[in-house]
Amino acid sequence: MRILAKLITAAYLGTAIAPAFAENHMDASTVVATVNGTEITLGHMILARENLPTQYQSLPDEQLFQGILEQLIQQTLLSQVNENPESLRVRLTLENDRRMMRAGEAVDIISSQEIGEDDITAAYEEKFSSAEAEREFNASHILIETEEA
């Protein structure tokens, strides 16, 4: 019951503060709520919005703001209920997610760079210019039967 009361209070506070944010300039680091000392920023809300199902992507931000804020507040409260340290499963999952996000960022950066003919030539020269020549074979003289024969 105590948890439910906290959730209801948090939802009410979220409703009360939303209009105040509409008038101010904000960025991703702007704190939109604090739950027992844990800050929820506009950046958290932006990422939560990006992860919404497709049918919600076309809705205006104003319609989604309150729902996303309430969801993040509830998730924060629920994550604080368990006073035990993170389980091995949770820790490993977080490590995998972190690794996946970093790898994704690296791929985005690498794939956004333009590669020209000069870059390809330079990479080829760097890799193979000092390679020893290998014996080559010319096998064009070997005759095989074709399906037509």
Confidence band of 146 (pLDDT split at 50, 70, 90): confident
Residue 49, domain extent: 2-84
- Vertex 15 angle, CA 36 and 52, to 5°: 85
Domain count, the chain: 1
| Residue 97 located in a structural domain | no
Nearest-angstrom CA–CA distance, 17 and 40: 13
| Residue 118 located in a structural domain | no
- Region 57-82: mean pLDDT is 90
Nearest-angstrom CA–CA distance, 59 and 97: 28
- Region 9-28: mean pLDDT is 57
| Residue 15 located in a structural domain | yes
| Residue 143 located in a structural domain | no
| Residue 16 located in a structural domain | yes
Q: What is the pLDDT of residues 91-130, one digit of tens each?
A: 899 999 999 999 999 999 999 999 899 999 999 999 888 8
Q: Which residues pair with 38 in a beta bridge?
A: 35
| Residue 111 located in a structural domain | no
- Reported as type and span, the H/E element at residue 103 is helix 88-112
- Region 57-86: mean pLDDT is 87
Nearest-angstrom CA–CA distance, 81 and 74: 11
| Residue 19 located in a structural domain | yes
| Residue 89 located in a structural domain | no
Model pTM score: 0.55
